[in-house]
Amino acid sequence: MAIRALTSPSPPSAEPGTILLETERLLIRRYMLSDAPALAEIANDPEVSIFMSDRFPSPYTVEDAETFIKDLNPQHDPSSPPEYPTTSGVFLKVAPTEAHHTKAGDGLVLIGSLGVRPKPDVFYRTWDIGYFIGRVFWGKGYCTEAVSAWTRWMFETWPELLRIEAGRYSSNPRSGRVLEKSGFVLEGTKRSAVTKNGVVMDALLYGLLRSDVEKST
């Protein structure tokens, strides 16, 4: 079913490498094919993939990353307008000095990903988000900083957007803390809805409304 597109008075460019927003420490931009080795480095981790859907490869190779980035091209994804944010990379503005990391296409250090999936039919003013941060970067507040800024940027850029949803597995309370710090409200639990690596878990649903953000500003 086709997506009923939301319009924006100032939509971002769909070109690879387009910077979508910046925070104090982070830069969020569209992926470039040259980011593939850096993406594979942070994604090829069972401690990351265990919290992802089975669409997320494990092991995660450079070839997997290249295929993923190529499929972000609007020509490969006709289900939503090319200016939509789809999936973008989260990069550090200042490279960490304590360890070596594979550099992304423009020399930045890739630490994670943020993705958007627009909903169809009567839910077209709701977008679903997903995200991950490489394990070496956990515990530094990067994920909360990225999710909070990302969601507010989407509300500002697409005035017709009313609601953003996110989900997590019951095995991932860390993600719940990120969502709650970003203003999301826990709205329900789907009991025994997920089977990941043979383990049955609950799925928890969170929601953030435009009105929630407006009240907090």
- Which neighbouring-strand residues pair with 109? 92, 103
Q: What is the mean pLDDT of residues 100-129?
A: 88
Contacts of 192 (CB under 8 A, 6+ apart): 200, 201, 202
Give the tokens for residue 166: 């996110």
Whether the pTM exceeds 0.75: the reply is: yes
* Res 103 pLDDT > 90: no
| Domain limits, the chain | 19-216
> Is 75's pLDDT higher than 70?
no
Instruction: Give the model's confidence band at 108: pLDDT under 50 very low, under 70 low, under 90 confident, else very high.
Output: confident
- Bridge partners of residue 2, in order along the sequence: none
* 38-53 pLDDT per residue, tens: 999 999 999 999 999 9
Structural fold of domain 19-216? Aminopeptidase (3.40.630)
For the chain, percent of residues with pLDDT exceeding 90 = 81
pLDDT of amino acid 179: 97
| DSSP collapsed to 3 states, the chain | CCCCCCCCCCCCCCCCCCEEEECCCEEEEECCHHHHHHHHHHHCCHHHHCCCCCCCCCCCCHHHHHHHHHHCCHHHCCCCCCCCCCEEEEEECCCCCCCCCCECCCCCEEEEEEEEEECCHHHCCEEEEEEEECHHHCCCCHHHHHHHHHHHHHHHHCCCCCEEEEEEECCCHHHHHHHHHCCCEEEEEEEEEEEECCEEEEEEEEEEEHHHHHHHC
Q: What is the band of 78 on the pLDDT scale with cuts at 50, 70, 90?
A: low
The mean pLDDT value of the chain amounts to 91
Q: Which band of pLDDT confidence, cut at 50, 70 and 90, is reported for residue 106?
A: confident
Please report which confidence band the pLDDT of residue 29 belongs to, taking 50, 70 and 90 as the band edges. Answer: very high
- Confidence class of residue 215 from pLDDT cuts 50, 70 and 90? confident
For residue range 139-174, list pLDDT tens digits in order.
Answer: 999 999 999 999 999 999 999 999 999 999 999 999
Contact 31, 39 (CB under 8 A): yes
- Rounded distance between C-alpha atoms, residue 49 and residue 1, angstroms: 29
